[in-house]
Structure 1
Amino acid sequence: MKPALTLSALLLLTACGANKGVVPKPGQALPVAPYGATATPSPAQLITPTTQQRPQRSDELLKSSQERRSDEFDLPPN
C-alpha cells in the first residue's frame, strides 16, 4: 500500500512541471510596456532572466591565489 502511495505522489509531482507555453489567461492582456520601452514584451521575454538577475562569475579565484606572507604579530597566547 505504501509503495503505491509513494508512486502516485511522485506522478502527481511530475505533472506539476508540465509546461504548455506561457500565455495570459483568457480575457486578460499582457502587462503594459515598461517605461521607456517601445513595445510590450512577449511572455518568453518576461520570464527570461537578465544578466543582472543571473550574473556570471567574472574572476577565477584559484588562478590569482598567492602564498600569505608571515605575520610578525601572530604570537602564541601567554
Structure 2
Amino acid sequence: MKRLLVLATALALAGCGAANRLQPAPGESLPVAPRGATATPTPRQLLTPTTQQRPQRSDALIHSSEARRADDFDLPPR
C-alpha cells in the first residue's frame, strides 16, 4: 500500500513537468488571419484577452456616507 502511494505521488509530480512554449500540433498551422487583419496572430496574441473579454470596472461604488439618488421606479406593491 505504501509503494502504491509513493508511485501515485511520483506520477502526479511527473505530470507537473516544465511547460514548453505553445506550438501548433505537428502538421498543423495557426488559424488564418481574422478578416481585415494584415498578419496572422501569434499564439501569445491569441491567448491574451482583450478589453472586451476582460472589461475593467468603470462605475464608482456608492460609499455609505453618500446619499443615494431617488429611484422613480421604486414603488410599493399593489
- What range is the shorter-chain TM-score in? 0.5 to 0.7
What is the alpha-carbon distance in structure 1 between the residues aligned to residue 62 and residue 32 of structure 2?
A: 46
Where do 5+ consecutive residues of structure 1 fail to align?
Answer: none
What is the alpha-carbon distance in structure 2 between the residues aligned to residue 33 and residue 10 of structure 1?
A: 38
Give the TM-score taking structure 2 as reference length: 0.62
Correspondences of 1:1-78 after superposition (within 5 Å) = 1=1, 4=5, 8=9, 11=13, 15=16, 18-63=18-63, 66-67=66-67
Comparing 56-65 with 18-27, greater Cα deviation is found at 56-65
Number of positions where the alignment pairs a residue of Structure 1 with one of Structure 2: 67
- Report which structure shows greater RCO (CA 8 Å, sep ≥6): 1
The runs of at least 4 aligned residues of structure 1 exceeding 4 Å deviation read none
What is the alpha-carbon distance in structure 2 between the residues aligned to residue 55 and residue 65 of structure 1?
A: 28
Give the TM-score taking structure 1 as reference length: 0.62
